[in-house]
Amino acid sequence: MITIPSLKVRQFGVDFYQTTFSSKDLQKLVKFEVLNYPAMEEEKKKRKSKPSAINWEILEKRIGRSEAAFQRPVIRKKIKELVQYYKDCQESQNLPAIPGAVIMITERRLLFTPSGKNPSLGLLQIPEEPGVLRCLDGQHRLLALSAQTEGEMEIDVPAILFDSLDPRQTVELFVTINAKHTRLNPSLLISLAGRRLYADPYQALAHDIIRELNEEESSPLRGEIKILGVGKGRVSQASLADEMVDLFTNIEKLGGKDRFKEFQEKGKRFFLNYFKAIQSIFPNAWSGRKYSIKTGAALRAFIRVSPDVMAGAKELRNDAFDYFGIREAIRPWGERVGEGRFETEGEWRRKLAGGTRGTVELLSKELREALKAS
């Protein structure tokens, strides 16, 4: 056991502790982990190591990767900047390196023993077990402490520690901290909200479909979407998710719970087939660099008119999710909309006057009218 002086704080029925750890103890007790997706592993393999004062290989081994985690991927630039700042503080001896508290959680209930007359002041006992603590805020600061090749920097680190939060409270607190103060990327919030924060069925389905579109080998959108706000993709995960959530809301509102349940089961199949069909209708635009068909605005418009497409496929093939039915339903787009509509320096740019929102609405209207005229 590690015993440390602590202040017990109670806010709105929740107890937590304000305390201080040595950097040496934190390196033993804290489990570092980040969200992980297959695409991130591919990027990691492609990345070439450059000479650095930081031993990245050792640091990477300390960081676990899991889809059940909530921390965003480590930002190397931030680690470098913090390491340099710590060195500057160490050399100048006139500034504290970590004056603000890091926030941590543990799933173990801790023993707090009051000492003296104040029942809120006392000693906190923490099991001396590797990984007993997880970092909710300040993970980069703690990683930077041990990122130097010369060895760990020994300082006291102020900390706030929770031992009574359930998983939902944990992620909700994480999102609240980062959304309000560090402008966490909205795409990460979509993933957390959809699967770990409050299990919203619309967000969850949007999250799963977008991942499928970005990761499935046969998907025309493979690698085109910025999952968690990172990667080479040009399209924001959050913008597509917002559009899909509106779509699912309308599906359940107009078709009832059974209709939405059917889409939960077959939504991935539909969107994979849908974008394959779009690719076949606009092959040059889809593969050409001078087109904007794979931008967020165009993809949102395609998502917005998907109920009309499903209705057409249902009528043609008696299967709203069938590739051939979908392709037949949208065939009029090839003639009535045309690939020239998506030329970046042509008609697309001329119709950007209303901004992205106006572009989405205008393209949606054109796509619907082309379907009706068929």
List pLDDT tens digits, range 178-214: 654 455 555 555 555 545 544 678 888 898 899 899 9
* pTM as predicted: 0.57
- Domain check: are 209 and 354 in the same one? yes
Residue with tokens 């950097």: 23
Q: Which of 158, 181, 204 is a domain's end point?
A: 181
In this structure, are strands 30-35 and 111-114 parallel, antiparallel, or unpaired?
A: unpaired
CA distance 281 to 269: 18
CA distance 185 to 42: 21
- Domain check: are 81 and 172 in the same one? yes
- Domain check: are 161 and 267 in the same one? no
Q: Which of 137, 165, 181 is a domain's end point?
A: 181
Rounded to the nearest 10 degrees, the angle between the axes of helix 237-281 and helix 323-336 is 80
- The answer, yes or no, to whether residue 16 has pLDDT greater than 50, is yes
Average pLDDT over residues 352-359: 69
**Listed ranges 33-37, 60-64, 103-107, 355-359; the one with the highest mean pLDDT:** 103-107
What is the rounded average pLDDT for all residues in the chain?
82
CA distance 302 to 342: 13
Residue with tokens 């085109």: 224
Structural domain count of the chain: 2
Residue 65 structural domain: 2-181
**Of 154, 157, 151, nearest in space to 54 by CA:** 151
pLDDT at residue number 238? 80
pLDDT at residue number 149? 45
